[in-house]
Amino acid sequence: MRVGLFIPCYINQLYPQVAIATLELLEKLNVDVYYPSTQTCCGQPLGNSGYEEDSKGACQLFVENFKEYDCIVGPSGSCIYHVKKHFDILEQTPDVVKVRNNAYELCEFIVKVLGKTDLGASFPHKVGLHKSCHGLRGLHLGSCSERMDPHFSTEEDLLNNVKGLELMKLNREDECCGFGGTFSVFEEAISVKMGKDKIQDHLNSGVEVITGADHSCLMHLEGLINRDNKPLRVMHIAEILNSTI
């Protein structure tokens, strides 16, 4: 199986350690990984802001970059959701359909495609999991508190098998952090309040490290944590799963 590694633009520019951890993790799992060097943004920021027509070029380039691979894997539920759900603005050629059907968020790929949950990682810390809206309610990576479905979570399946890691129970475990891409720009006050509420929930639950599968949410929380000097660290789940502390 040939896998195309998709690194979202904001991770490429701001969090290269997440990209490196993702690559190393996939290689440890004996995945045949390729990185198309001409890849760019998936087009989500334009689409989310109401400029879908202007995003078509970025979307089409994504398809051209990844159409030859059996699977496309990225460390961002939000960007993968955009590829799977919003590429309907393109003509549905066989290449577009193939890319949309075979795009996976990293944890989803490891658990559902590779069938693995114990990756041999160790991380002796109290960890709080932030479940992003796109990952949870868009890609269905876990059960939602507003539904009566049996509990499940691909991220928890992986974290619960990390040696020494204590996954802390939150009071409002699947509530939005308030980031929402451009929502945080145009509705700053609401976004900040929601983010601070999430951070306090983690603090009240004894969390040392906040993690998740969407670094855009984590970026929002990290900014608020740093401004208020809160005693919390933020790490993408790929960094924890790649740890052998």
Q: For the segment 170-215, what is each residue's pLDDT rounded down to a tens digit?
A: 999 899 998 887 888 888 999 999 999 999 999 999 999 999 999 9
Question: What is the maximum alpha-carbon separation in the chain?
Answer: 50
* pLDDT per position as a tens digit, 12-27: 999 999 999 999 999 9
Q: What count of other Cβ atoms lies within 10 Å of the Cβ of residue 13?
A: 9
What pLDDT, on a 0 to 100 scale, did the predictor assign at position 48? 83
- Confidence check: pLDDT of 29 > 70: yes
Q: Which of 4-13, 64-73, 143-152 has the lowest mean pLDDT?
A: 143-152
Helix, strand, coil percentages for the chain (3-state, nearest 5): 50, 15, 35
Distance between CA atoms of residues 96 and 93, nearest Å: 5
Q: pTM score, two decimals?
A: 0.93
62 closest CA partner among 49, 244, 76? 76
Token pair listed for 14: 């701001």
Place of tokens 């393109």: 90
What pLDDT, on a 0 to 100 scale, did the predictor assign at position 58? 96
Dihedral Cα 220, 208, 197, 19, nearest 10 deg: 20
Distance between CA atoms of residues 234 and 226, nearest Å: 10
Distance between CA atoms of residues 222 and 214, nearest Å: 12
Query: For the chain, how many helices (H) and strands (E)?
Result: 13, 8
- Confidence check: pLDDT of 83 > 70: yes
Percent of the chain with pLDDT over 70: 100
- Predicted confidence band of residue 60 (pLDDT cuts 50, 70, 90): very high
- Confidence check: pLDDT of 147 > 90: no
Mean pLDDT calculated for residue range 228-245: 94
Please state, rounded to an integer, the average pLDDT across all residues of the chain: 95
Distance between CA atoms of residues 194 and 26, nearest Å: 33
- Between the alpha carbon of residue 8 and those of residues 79, 94, 215, the distances in Å are 7, 24, 10
Mean pLDDT calculated for residue range 92-103: 98
Token pair listed for 139: 């890609």
- Confidence check: pLDDT of 234 > 90: yes
What pLDDT, on a 0 to 100 scale, did the predictor assign at position 245? 62
The secondary structure element, H or E, covering residue 236 is strand 233-236
Cα angle vertex 120, ends 118, 123, to 5°?
Answer: 105
135 closest CA partner among 50, 18, 215, 230? 215
